[in-house]
């Protein structure tokens, strides 16, 4: 899958393509810069599960620019989770801070959505932290709306859970 895109506001172009092993160092650095935590083992595992060829319904795409990797998106088709018919899930998207607001995130999401369409699903979902207004603004700008699900969680160390 290859989608070429021109930046919305000047600068050189970039190409959205499947991740390659040689991109991993840049992805690990990008994630570490944004989250403050370097997780090389995690990213090598994600590459094995989502980046290797021949994994239908799994996508790990990068926006490759002349200077390196500007961003990435990861997702997969999940079948009948939570009783829902198969749909695409985007569970990671990140654009290098210096490359933001130039259409990279939009191009990454468009490319993974195209992959989901080709995989036969008609719905895309994601989950984000309630306070993450930036990511919410981005997904809303792409037409994503609140879904008819409620996320729940349980703190397993909380007394109520331990006593149960
Ligand atoms: C969210 C993110 C992917 C957007 O990437 P991007 O390349 O800057 O997005 P685009 O340039 O394609 O922007 C598309 C639209 O999103 C919205 N948007 C993007 N950044 C925004 C911001 N800082 N404030 C408000 N709206 C914003 C705008 O509507 C924008 O359209 P416009 O430029 O015409 O106004 C990027 O900011 C990012 O990586 N943030 C951190 C993500 C993160 O926390 N990841 C970890 C959890 S998965």
pLDDT digits (tens, 9 = 90+) for 57-68: 999 999 999 989
Cα separations (Å) of 32 from 1, 63, 72, 77, 111? 27, 17, 13, 26, 24
Residue minimizing CA distance to atom 5 of ligand 1: 105
For the chain, the distance separating the N- and C-terminal CA atoms, rounded to the nearest angstrom, is 49
127 in contact with ligand 1, CB cutoff 6 A: no
In the chain, the largest separation of any two C-alpha atoms, in whole Å, equals 59
The answer, yes or no, to whether any atom of ligand 1 lies below 6 A from the CB of 101, is: yes
Which tens digits make up the pLDDT trace of 61-112? 999 999 899 999 999 999 988 888 999 999 999 999 999 999 999 999 999 9
Return the DSSP state at 50. I
Is the CB of 104 within 6 Å of ligand 1? yes
Is 158 near ligand 1, meaning CB less than 6 Å away?
no
Residue 122 token pair: 């008609």
Residue 163 alpha carbon to ligand 1 centre in Å: 43
Q: Give me the chain's average pLDDT, please.
A: 90
CB of 97 sitting under 6 A from ligand 1 = no
């Amino acid at each position: 899958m290859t989608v070429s895109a021109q930046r919305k506001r000047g600068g050189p172009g970039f190409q959205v393509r499947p991740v390659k092993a040689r991109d991993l160092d840049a992805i690990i650095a990008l994630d570490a810069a944004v989250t403050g935590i370097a997780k090389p083992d995690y990213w090598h595992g994600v590459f094995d599960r989502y980046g290797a060829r021949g994994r239908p319904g799994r996508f790990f795409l990068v926006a490759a620019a002349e200077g390196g990797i500007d961003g990435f998106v990861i997702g997969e088709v999940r079948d009948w989770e939570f009783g829902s018919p198969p749909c695409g899930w985007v569970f990671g998207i990140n654009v290098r801070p210096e490359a933001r607001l130039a259409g990279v995130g939009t191009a990454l999401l468009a490319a993974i959505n195209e992959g989901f369409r080709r995989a036969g699903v008609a719905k895309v979902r994601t989950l984000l932290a309630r306070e993450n207004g930036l990511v919410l603004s981005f997904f809303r700008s792409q037409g994503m709306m609140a879904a008819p699900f409620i996320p729940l969680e349980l703190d397993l160390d909380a007394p109520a859970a331990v006593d149960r």
